[in-house]
Chains A and B, each alone.
Chain A
Amino acid sequence: MIELKTPISEEIIRSLKVGDEVLVTGRMFTGRDAVHKYLHEGGQLPAGVDFKGGVLYHCGPVIIKDDQGQWKCVAAGPTTSIREEPYQWQVIRDFGLRGVIGKGGMGERTLAACKEYGCVYLHAIGGAAQVLAECIKRVPNVHFMEKFGAPEAIWEFETVQFPAVVTMDANGNSLHKEVFAASQAELAKYL
């Protein structure tokens, strides 16, 4: 297990390779379909949100307000990342992301952006909303709640040892590409 603390340096990111299991600690932001489309169309991040050196989590959490009026994360697994493929490369380039967390992997443009700008794709366990919510110790803030609704808002998470696997590294390797090619070749044997 490799411990990563946000903000993460380019050097550390470039040393990671496909198959490495990591634990992410520190500030993390959520952003999914609406946020990506908004940024792609030239939208600006709200005040107080800075992705530089940071990690963006493709996640639409279940969050409720507790009795003290504090946000409490009830469930927070990853959403399918491939929907952000048209936009992700640009968000990596323009906002200085070092990591993207999601599930299912992403395509060629994101892989190329990871290599060019120094970023990795971290695969969290899809559906494991409780294990992952346990790693989110605090939810200090939310942005675009009115504009995009709760699942699509930008939530700020304080995380401790959030588990994920590097499935696309900053050296052009993708586990998703490998597994697709191998499984396609294997399937041909049984048809």
Chain B
Amino acid sequence: MNRLFESLLELIRRTSTVIPDDVHRAILASLEQEKKGTIAANAMQIIDQNIALARNKSQPICQDTGSIIFYVEAPASLDQIAFEEQAREAVKTATKKGYLRQNSVDSITGKNDGTNLGPGSPTVHFHQHRSPEISVRLVLKGGGCENVGAQYSLPNEKLKANRDLDGCRKAILDAVLQAQGKGCGPGILGVCIGGDRATGYEHSKQQLLRSLDDQNPNPELATLEKDIVETANKLGIGPMGFGGKTTLLGTKIGVLNRLPASYFVSVSYMCWAYRRQGMVLDAEGAVQKWLY
């Protein structure tokens, strides 16, 4: 059994069963916020118990183990075809072991062959860089939260949202309102301002690779990120949409250039069961360190 395969399998296991520390801290803070004895506080308590159980039993935090999205940063010397083959084998084995649900369905025939392999599953994004380091990040994103993602084309008359940051704010907050508890809140938003319909959504998902504690280098966006979380948490949607104080745990906003004719705001909603992990590999494919 080769090193890379073992590392990828362990990456999938950890991602599916262990919540990252930054997310766990945010969940514990929100548990403190909710008024004791309310259904919102009880929901957060069950969530916290669930995090511990999943870790201890090495079983999926959520049964919807989601879209399997790898992000690989590597030097040009990496054999991408061989890497992808190993990733597919690791997904197949992880599914047999129950770290992943049999979650990939042929869109036309409705058949599920139980392997999690097929067109688009898993998805592997490769990015070459000059450094010799190989890093692999994995996001498992469930269907419930994916379904409440939204893309707005500005201006939007109904929302009175113009082509400026205030318009973006209105669009993002509308996405929070429409999502209510359906995306398994408290949630985390990845947002992209600009791009086209495909790159906008893709870049919004990539924001979910950022640590919850990081600071946006663009001060205007840093302010907007903070404002979105504060405002969303005044709306009273709360955990699971039960009513309560925590609607969002975080918001991360990125930007792409746009065409003069287009102005998209793309919002990806991540559930509290925020499954993301990453690793740095050595040349043999063994794990050197974990990233979250």
Contacts and interface: CB of A to CB of B under 8 A. Distances in A.
Interface of A: 19, 21, 34, 59-62, 64, 74-77, 79-80, 82, 103-105, 123, 125-131, 133-134, 148-152, 163, 165, 167, 175-176, 178-180, 182-184, 186-187, 190-191
B173 A150 contact: no
A150 B114 contact: yes
A129 B184 contact: no
A187 B53 contact: no
A165 B45 CA distance: 14
Contact of A191 (B54, B173, B243): B173
B213 to A, nearest CB: 22
B240 A126 contact: yes
B241 A176 contact: yes
Given A127-B184, A183-B180, A190 B63 contact: no
A134 B50 CA distance: 10
15 contacts: A59-B63, A62-B63, A80-B143, A105-B180, A125-B43, A126-B181, A128-B50, A129-B61, A134-B53, A149-B110, A149-B112, A165-B43, A165-B242, A179-B237, A179-B243
Contact of A182 (B61, B98, B111, B236): B236
Contact of B242 (A128, A175, A186): A175
Contacts of B160: 191
B273 interface: yes
A75 B60 contact: yes
B122 interface: no
Contact of A60 (B101, B177, B240): B101
B166 to A, nearest CB: 9
B182 A80 contact: yes
A60 B64 contact: yes
B272 interface: yes
